[in-house]
Chain A
């Protein structure tokens, strides 16, 4: 017992030192708490340091652990086959990619710098990094340097169709050739000039041939990369534990990172408030007001809004005419709807176009393209032949009532509310929009196969969003398919995707967005800003998610004052 007590005292004094607190501070704090019952910032941090010290000493652990809770499942840690965000949150810490993107910023990771000698050539200069050591492949201190040849091997592996990898098809259309000019210089030539090459290469993680061959099938289960945090263990369905890579070129701010899977947002928030986790990646929007008022944790708003909209199926005769689609948009007061769904300010913004806030190309001022004018809507519909001839409250034409099914995905209550509110507003001018929720998988399938009349959908919150929502070819496979066929738009989008210069591309991008807006292909609804929350002492957590690695030249997420 004596030994443990000494250990505790030692730990406590070390902890106090680390926090910059002296014994006089402790005495003063006690006085303040006992006399004044006030817990200001300093006392809270003092208290936390003391408690932390005692707690850590009790467990005999000297390091700091960052506990992150993610609502997404962690299905695989295989960088060639992952499909979900939850997977990449972990992969991004263990493996290094050339770059990471945060809004318009390109964060250099393995690639220290790069240049474009011409429109199709990318030359990356790699920084000096080493593979993680102290594992089954490399003994402590014996890991070789990461080279451009490793990246060539990675691309060889990824682009080989015989390997049957899920992420091959993502990169393959872009790459014409690649080679290592020397150990630290990598040259990649694209098939054509590409505005989105960096977006596509962002998730390509460098692997080493030696590691791949040594681990064989175990490669996906015991990832070894060159990132700031090393893989320790994966407790299936529960959490993944990582520890700091001491040989990383930056000193990681914490010794251990634990990613826990908490699917229920409310539980995640409660866990944060109970002190069981440090970062809650998604808190329920209904709780934001209370959490902000109580001010016990820090709320972070996502820097990218997630776009939600109502889409038409263009093959439905009801929606063939622009005048009709436009009339529908005039009958919908989107500001009121969004205020009703999200009464707390800041959680969501009305969207007036298909590029969300936080993605390049977003434009203030698209609002001018939309009006709320139910009277004009009725008049327009009348001109198009839609009148209530039989007095049943519904417009009709040639015996057909203006009735269609509006389908939202059932898992998102906000989108269901959106559908219901749109339906209510449309019924005021005699249009019946029957709301029928479907579960996510069915919903996606229905949109893809054209088995919908009108639908509520979301996504496209990426720089390439317009392509996958509106380009006749790119949208054809997918979950945003309005079956809108406009060759002029396709040509514009194709030209934009080949324009490497950002400013020039944005001009084209905005033009494309305006075509889509003026043609009423979708009725934009809102951007929702996902709210995450962290313990007060977590620092540097921007962007508020681990997609961008926790430790790089841009940030080093950890604890501070």
Chain B
């Protein structure tokens, strides 16, 4: 098992290397000049050709493309992802400043979603065909179809403006108390987790229904076990596997969805950073962030795979 894990981790290196070449090419071949964007970022912009020339030189963009790639590669091998054009700081530093809010948001979205959706899915499965089941399924469809842009604004309107219970934007800090952190986290987590909630509810329900129809569950019931024990000890373990897969796959969507949620809630994470970096053609930052996103996606999938063998002892890796 450990061997398997180590091998998987080592595979990450060539994958990331190939990704870096791909990203560099894509980003540099796309139209758009970072210098023009940088200097024209204001209605008051008065941009002279001298200014453009000076900044182009400063950023090393006057060098031929292959030379720029070698500089990038050299840096990469030393663990230096380059310096952001907009923020004038090393990419690693920029990312480490901004990654924690995104991790916080992603994790809490997953937690909030699972806390709500798994019980709902279970109840729906146990009471198939009932009112609760129908309502839950309707919610699931609505949840997936609701744009989280709109949903986020509605939550702010209701809970911050009309009721005044929660803050309308931004992140909370531990120095202001755990209450502040949680209060700021709730609405963005609900927004980001909405589609995940909907999907997981459905997934849990259908997976559990399938499992509940299996022979071994019937056996357990025939043995006289209480329904809750049947559920807990026998059914859930198997039923949860597809759900874990979905959560793992959805993690990518979560990272993408975080861009919108972070913009709506002015959440200082890397989702928002990524979109600004792309719009402004901040090549080092885009490259660095893409590599980091790739890495985290691969890591999550690794964790998901390992969790399988925990849930289902039959699954073993050599």
A237 within 8 A of B: yes
Which residues of the other chain, A, contact B40 by a CB distance below 8 angstroms? 444, 459, 478-479
A239 within 8 A of B: yes
B169 touches A271 (CB 8 A): yes
CA distance A439 to B268 in the complex (A): 23
Instruction: Tell me the nearest residue of chain A to B97, going by C-beta.
Output: A236
CA distance A273 to B167 in the complex (A): 11
A183 within 8 A of B: no
Beyond A237-B98, A270-B153, whether A73 also contacts B276 by CB under 8 A is yes
User: Which residues 127-167 in B have Cβ within 8 Å of A in the complex?
Assistant: 153, 156-157, 160-161, 164, 167
User: Which residues 211-226 in B have Cβ within 8 Å of A in the complex?
Assistant: none
A446 touches B31 (CB 8 A): yes
B279 touches A270 (CB 8 A): no
User: Which residues 247-289 in A have Cβ within 8 Å of B in the complex?
Assistant: 260-264, 266-268, 270-271, 273-276
A83 touches B153 (CB 8 A): no
Which stretch from A144-152, A167-175, A334-342 is at the chain B interface?
A167-175
B168 touches A274 (CB 8 A): yes
Which stretch from B47-55, B71-79, B240-248 is at the chain A interface?
B47-55
A477 touches B156 (CB 8 A): no
Which of A173, A262, A273 sits near B50, CB closer than 8 Å? Answer: A173
A461 touches B48 (CB 8 A): no
Beyond A83-B39, A440-B37, A445-B32, whether A270 also contacts B160 by CB under 8 A is yes
Instruction: Tell me the nearest residue of chain A to B159, going by C-beta.
Output: A274
Give the number of residues in B that approach A within 8 Å (Cβ atoms): 57
Beyond A173-B50, A448-B36, whether A270 also contacts B268 by CB under 8 A is no
Which residues of the other chain, B, contact A465 by a CB distance below 8 angstroms? 46
A164 within 8 A of B: yes
CA distance A474 to B50 in the complex (A): 9
Instruction: Tell me the nearest residue of chain B to A172, going by C-beta.
Output: B50
A270 touches B157 (CB 8 A): yes
CA distance A439 to B276 in the complex (A): 12
Beyond A260-B266, A270-B156, whether A169 also contacts B34 by CB under 8 A is no
B268 touches A476 (CB 8 A): no
A276 touches B98 (CB 8 A): no
Beyond A73-B276, A83-B38, A441-B33, whether A464 also contacts B46 by CB under 8 A is yes
Which of A262, A446, A459, A477 sits near B48, CB closer than 8 Å? Answer: A477
B284 within 8 A of A: no
* Minimum distance in angstroms from A107 CB to a CB of chain B: 16
Which of B32, B37, B97, B169 sits near A276, CB closer than 8 Å? Answer: B169
Interface centre among B46, B97, B156 (most CB of A within 10 A): B46
Beyond A236-B268, A262-B266, A477-B49, whether A75 also contacts B168 by CB under 8 A is no
A462 touches B44 (CB 8 A): yes
A42 within 8 A of B: no
A400 within 8 A of B: no
A271 touches B46 (CB 8 A): no
* Minimum distance in angstroms from B27 CB to a CB of chain A: 11
Beyond A73-B276, A274-B160, A461-B43, whether A236 also contacts B98 by CB under 8 A is yes
CA distance A69 to B168 in the complex (A): 12
A220 within 8 A of B: yes
Which residues of the other chain, B, contact A236 by a CB distance below 8 angstroms? 94, 97-98, 268
A448 touches B54 (CB 8 A): no
CA distance A260 to B87 in the complex (A): 17
B298 within 8 A of A: no
Which residues of the other chain, B, contact A81 by a CB distance below 8 angstroms? 88
A459 touches B86 (CB 8 A): no
B153 touches A85 (CB 8 A): no
* Minimum distance in angstroms from B46 CB to a CB of chain A: 5
Instruction: Tell me the nearest residue of chain A to B265, going by C-beta.
Output: A267
Which of A164, A239, A264, A479 sits near B170, CB closer than 8 Å? Answer: A239
B31 touches A459 (CB 8 A): no
Which residues of the other chain, A, contact B264 by a CB distance below 8 angstroms? 264, 267
A169 touches B276 (CB 8 A): no
Which of A164, A173, A271 sits near B168, CB closer than 8 Å? Answer: A271
A468 within 8 A of B: yes
Which of B58, B171, B269, B279 sits near A441, CB closer than 8 Å? Answer: B279
B170 touches A260 (CB 8 A): yes
* Minimum distance in angstroms from B236 CB to a CB of chain A: 39
B272 within 8 A of A: yes
A442 within 8 A of B: yes
B196 within 8 A of A: no
B202 within 8 A of A: no
* Minimum distance in angstroms from B13 CB to a CB of chain A: 29
B1 within 8 A of A: no
Instruction: Tell me the nearest residue of chain B to A451, going by C-beta.
Output: B31
Beyond A274-B168, A448-B33, whether A169 also contacts B160 by CB under 8 A is no
Beyond A83-B38, A85-B42, A445-B32, whether A271 also contacts B160 by CB under 8 A is yes
18 contacts across the A-B interface (CB closer than 8 A): A73-B86, A76-B87, A81-B88, A85-B42, A170-B46, A199-B46, A238-B171, A260-B169, A263-B266, A263-B272, A267-B156, A276-B169, A438-B31, A446-B31, A462-B45, A464-B46, A468-B45, A479-B45
Known: A238-B170, A268-B169, A270-B156. 17 other contacts (CB 8 A): A69-B266, A84-B42, A164-B58, A220-B88, A236-B98, A238-B171, A239-B170, A264-B264, A271-B168, A275-B164, A439-B279, A441-B31, A441-B279, A468-B46, A476-B49, A477-B48, A479-B45
Residues of A within 8 A of B (CB): 69, 72-73, 75-76, 78, 81, 83-85, 164, 166, 168-170, 172-173, 199, 220, 235-239, 260-264, 266-268, 270-271, 273-276, 304, 306, 411, 438-442, 444-446, 448, 458-459, 461-462, 464-465, 467-468, 473-474, 476-479
